[in-house]
Amino acid sequence: MSKVDELKMDIEDLNTLLKQASRQKSKDLIGIEIRKLNTELSRISENSGTSDTKATPTPLKTGPKVYEVKLNNYAWDQTDKFVKLYVTLKNVQTLPSESVICKFTDRSMDLRVCGLENRNYHLPIINLCEEIDPEASSFRIKNDIVAIFLAKKSPTNWSCVTGVEKRIKEAKAPSLNPDPEETSDPHSSLMGMMKKMYQEGDDDMKKTIAKAWCDSQDKKSATGLDFPQF
């Protein structure tokens, strides 16, 4: 029972006693006590609204958990002026324009898509195959696709998108002046370069090297390199 309810019941009992009292002194004492209880009841009501019960705290509302997703797959083609990347993301066109951001430097691009069905997507390419013009580069949002246009600094034909892929292709290409030692072991040069790049590179470079190697070699030759399996 709340304090307000107790005071009301006490006041009712005292009013009953007041009606039954026959002596004036008794009536005066009961009246004083009734006024005290009414004053206390008014004070409590003003401080707490209608009762002295503590309000139940309202639970904080939290939104759904947002997951971070790093992108690795994209399609690409090129013209004399642009290298075009196509990143498939279902319903990306439903996002506000400020939720899709792509930044460019001479040798890198960084795409971020925020809040797409409780996921934030990130596609960083930190070492492009050739230099680009950041000011002339751009992106467009289409149905389920983000199209990125990397403006070439020169109309050079790109053999691939990243510098890592380019070095791997160059290492695999036959040398015009082969070293006699390398001729006896045609894989030694490639293996040596890839191992060096793998040891010195960051996590993204290591994954790219391992993927490129596995895609271009059969299972037996791929396991000849001491690369971790992803």
Positive/negative CA dihedral, 8, 10, 11, 12: positive
pTM over 0.75: no
What is the pLDDT at residue 200?
66
Looking at residue 6, its pLDDT comes to 80
Residue with tokens 């009841």: 41
pLDDT of residue 169: 84
Q: Are 129 and 80 in contact (CB under 8 A)?
A: no
Give me the pLDDT at residue 58, please.
56
| Ordered DSSP codes for 6-65 | HHHHHHHHHHHHHHH--SHHHHHHHHHHHHHHHHHHHHHHHHHTT-SPPPPPPPPP-PPP
- Amino acid occupying residue 127: N
Over residues 115-172, the pLDDT tens digits come to: 999 999 999 999 999 999 999 999 999 999 999 999 999 999 999 999 889 888 888 7
- Name the token pair of 84: 């075009």
> What pLDDT score was predicted for residue 229?
46
The Cα–Cα gap between 55 and 134 comes to 57
pLDDT at residue number 122: 96
Task: Give me the pLDDT at residue 188, please.
Answer: 62
Euclidean distance between CA atoms 135 and 154, whole angstroms: 14
- Who contacts 45 (Cβ-Cβ below 8 Å, separation ≥6)? 4, 51
Residue 50's pLDDT is what?
47
pLDDT, averaged per 10 consecutive residues of the chain (230 residues), comes to 77 80 78 82 70 51 80 94 96 94 96 95 95 97 96 94 89 63 56 69 72 63 48
Cα separation, 133 vs 68, in Å, equals 29
The 10 Å Cβ neighbour count of residue 152 is: 20
End-to-end CA distance of the chain: 66
Cβ–Cβ < 8 Å for 222, 214 = yes
Q: Which helix (H) or strand (E) holds 5?
A: helix 3-20
For residue 158, the 8-state DSSP code is: P
